[in-house]
Amino acid sequence: MKLMWLYCTCQYLLFMAIIACSVRLCLRVRRAQAVAHSQGGARPCKHWSVSCCLRFTLGLVGALGGVVELPLTVVLNQRSPTCMYTCIPLVCIPLLIRHFTMYLVMLLSLDAHLQHLLAHRYSAVVTRRRALCVVLLCWMASTLSSFAQFIGSDVLHTWRSTGPDKWSGGATTGLGQGGGNWTTSLPTTPPYQKYYQDLKVIGKYLPYGGFLSKFYAGDKHNFTYAQIHGSHWGVCSADSLLSPHFLVYLYGITVFMLPLICLLSIYLNLLCLKPRENADPSKNAVSQVRYLALSIFLLVTLCAPIHVIHSLALYSPETVVPPAVHGAAVYVFQVYSIVPQVLFTPAKKQANTPMEAFSLPAAPHHHPPLAAVDTARGKAVHMGLCGAVQTAQWASAKNTLKAKVCPDV
């Protein structure tokens, strides 16, 4: 019990840090746009570039996601008996937030790479309307991938395999492993075998049949409401609801392998790409390579352990993972949620000069030395003073002021 509350407290502090960093990201981007509005005099929406919109969206998703995930994580750590249709959104909403966050990370990295690659053609190719369409497609893909296990399949298949018979009498650990005590939570019912035989799922073989499909018993007179309702109760946690195939083949690929391949491709492309004549590789390309290297290192370090555990559960079911190791891997995996907000937050100096922070790098101009500029300005002032003296009404050829000021004229 003490370990469970300590674990929940650490997660509480982590989600509070995620919310704070996300709000800081939104404020920095918003401050940059306010300064640009005061300097430009146009409407604020005119200054919102694609990079600004993506960063602001990342901040909003992080802040709202942290607020939503905090109570859900605490509830899931309790591993209390819950109705299956209540447990599905509790488990899948954090998956949805993680999917969409990783898509935004890939879009922001790709946007920065396109700024360096396209140079002055970037504004014509990447527009806010196209970026909005891509973000909406990513949101739809995140929703489908988060609930993919319950689309086109029997919802109760996984739930039955981890039902009351399997988890009865277990001990609650609070670290993502172990079962719950069913002696007081589940209704007292006869064996469920006859009910499972008479169970029918509406639209089971249709594309939407498995997604939150309603079910009924063929012989309702022999079962009470408590018996029917108690048949789809179970331990509410990610490992009891989600199958290992989903966690490895879909979740692991979409939130780990796909971002890793995307970031590695951009990183290798920047290393092998020849700089353009009108580009400045000394600052933009080098800083982008460093950020990508740091992103790849943190992604592999923080997210790989939990996916290794999921792979062991799929390919080596007899392997027993200690609850403390599983809990530490889950916590480290959640720590990565703070990384995008920190990496994509503009510096304070850049927030005060937004047009330089979020605009395309301009081609370098060759300016003359400061000494030459001062000499040219001195000559111009000298010639202007000579002209004023010559056009004056009191000027004459014998005037000594003309000879002193303009001896060459």
Residue 114 has pLDDT above 60, yes or no: yes
- C-alpha span between 186 and 163 (Å, rounded): 11
How confident is the model at residue 284, as a pLDDT? 63
Instruction: Dump the DSSP string for 257-282.
Output: IHHHHHHHHHHHHHHHPPPPTTS-TT
Q: Name the more confident of 173 and 103.
A: 103
Q: Name the more confident of 297 and 407.
A: 297
Which tens digit of pLDDT belongs to each residue from 236-292? Answer: 888 888 889 999 999 999 999 999 999 999 998 888 865 554 444 546 667 788 889
Assigned domain for 287 exists: no
Q: Based on the fold, state whether residues 392 and 334 are members of the same structural domain.
A: no
Assigned domain for 277 exists: no
How confident is the model at residue 202, as a pLDDT? 64
Assigned domain for 276 exists: no
* Mean pLDDT, range 159-173, rounded to an integer: 42
Q: Based on the fold, state whether residues 334 and 380 are members of the same structural domain.
A: no
Q: Based on the fold, state whether residues 343 and 400 are members of the same structural domain.
A: no
224-230: Cβ within 8 A, 24+ apart: 226/187, 226/189, 227/187, 227/189, 227/190, 227/195, 228/195, 229/83, 229/187, 230/164, 230/186, 230/187, 230/189
Q: Based on the fold, state whether residues 50 and 87 are members of the same structural domain.
A: yes
Assigned domain for 42 exists: yes
- C-alpha span between 18 and 98 (Å, rounded): 13
Q: Out of 34-38, 43-47, 147-151, which region has the weakest mean confidence (pLDDT)?
A: 43-47
Q: Based on the fold, state whether residues 55 and 111 are members of the same structural domain.
A: yes
Domain count, the chain: 2
Which tens digit of pLDDT belongs to each residue from 322-371? Answer: 988 998 999 999 999 999 999 998 877 655 554 433 333 444 444 455 44
Kindly report whether the global pTM for this prediction surpasses the value 0.85: no
Q: Name the more confident of 139 and 374.
A: 139
Question: Partners of 235 in the beta sheet?
Answer: 81
Q: Based on the fold, state whether residues 129 and 159 are members of the same structural domain.
A: yes
Q: Out of 106-120, 145-159, 200-214, which region has the weakest mean confidence (pLDDT)?
A: 200-214
Q: Name the more confident of 111 and 205.
A: 111
Cα first-last separation, the chain: 98
Assigned domain for 36 exists: yes
In terms of C-beta density within 10 A (0-12 exposed, 13-18 middle, 19 or more buried), how is residue 154 classed? middle
User: Domain residues for 398?
Assistant: 375-405
Give percent of the chain with pLDDT exceeding 70: 59
Q: Based on the fold, state whether residues 180 and 135 are members of the same structural domain.
A: yes
Q: Name the more confident of 257 and 190.
A: 257
What CATH number is given to the structural domain containing 163? 1.20.1070.10
Q: How far is CA 265 from the centre of its chain?
A: 19
Among 66, 115, 59, smallest CA distance to 266 is for 115
How confident is the model at residue 364, as a pLDDT? 44
Residue 77 binned pLDDT confidence (cut-offs 50, 70, 90): confident
